[in-house]
Amino acid sequence: MTTIINDPEMARRLIRQRRARGQDRYDEVWNGRYIINEPPNINHSEFVGTITVALRLTLKNLARVLPGTNITDQQDHWKTNYRCPDVAVFLPGNPAEDRDTHWYGGPDFAVEVLSPRDGARKKLDFYAQIGTRELLLIDRQPWQLELYQLREGKLIQTASAAIDTGEVTCETVRLKVSLRSGEARPLLCLGSLQSGEEWTV
């Protein structure tokens, strides 16, 4: 269900309430348009937690690995346009600026775990414009992995994998990712190309 609020005062009141209650953690603003995203379920949170741990162990102290962060393309007034990837990695030499509440500029690697009615694919142009080198989408309806890499200013899909049909290799963070059949749901499998360590969730 989509709700459109055309009353500016009501919209401001709703946003203020969400911020006061801490309910805005996953909200975003797309070119001045406030987006209230569905909170993640347990499965989504498990994926984000495991991916974050795997990347931290793989990259050690050579990167900033964040389980969700605000990213903007705005030099000033960042809250007029920002996105919140589920996982973001900033490698040494990345020109993005850490401004405490947000990053001005894109990560080297980002992950989006899709939820029902998720608009993550609509973020591709934004991520490309701010210089995100690689983006992994984990779709759960139907289950599949999609890997996008920055090519001539655009994020182009360069690999994909479904359940039990191969893997994708995230070159910027040296991580291989695949989906395997499981009892309750498919398993997300991660493997470090550096150390050989593996994680499954």
Q: Residue 168 is which amino acid?
A: V
Each residue of 58-71: pLDDT tens digit?
998 889 999 999 99
Each residue of 138-166: pLDDT tens digit?
999 999 999 999 999 999 999 999 999 99
For residue 125, the number of C-alpha atoms closer than 13 Å in the C-beta half-sphere is 5
Q: Residue 155 forms beta bridges with which residues?
A: 150
Residue 6: count of CB within 10 angstroms of its CB: 6
Each residue of 12-44: pLDDT tens digit?
776 677 777 776 666 778 787 877 767 778 888
The pTM assigned to this predicted structure is 0.89
Rg of the Cα atoms in the chain = 17
Q: Provide CATH code, domain 40-200.
A: 3.90.1570.10
CB 134 within 8 A of CB 149: yes
∠ Cα 46 69 161 (to 5°): 50
Q: Residue 117 contacts by C-beta under 8 Å, 6 or more apart in sequence?
A: 38
Distance CA 18, CA 200 (A): 34
Residues found in the chain = 201
* H or E stretch covering 47: helix 42-59
158-167 in b/e form (b: 16+ CB < 10 A) is ebebebeeeb
Q: Residue 64 contacts by C-beta under 8 Å, 6 or more apart in sequence?
A: 89, 90, 98
Q: Which two tokens stand for residue 75?
A: 């030099």
Q: Which two tokens stand for residue 7?
A: 């009353």
Share of the chain above pLDDT 90, in %: 72
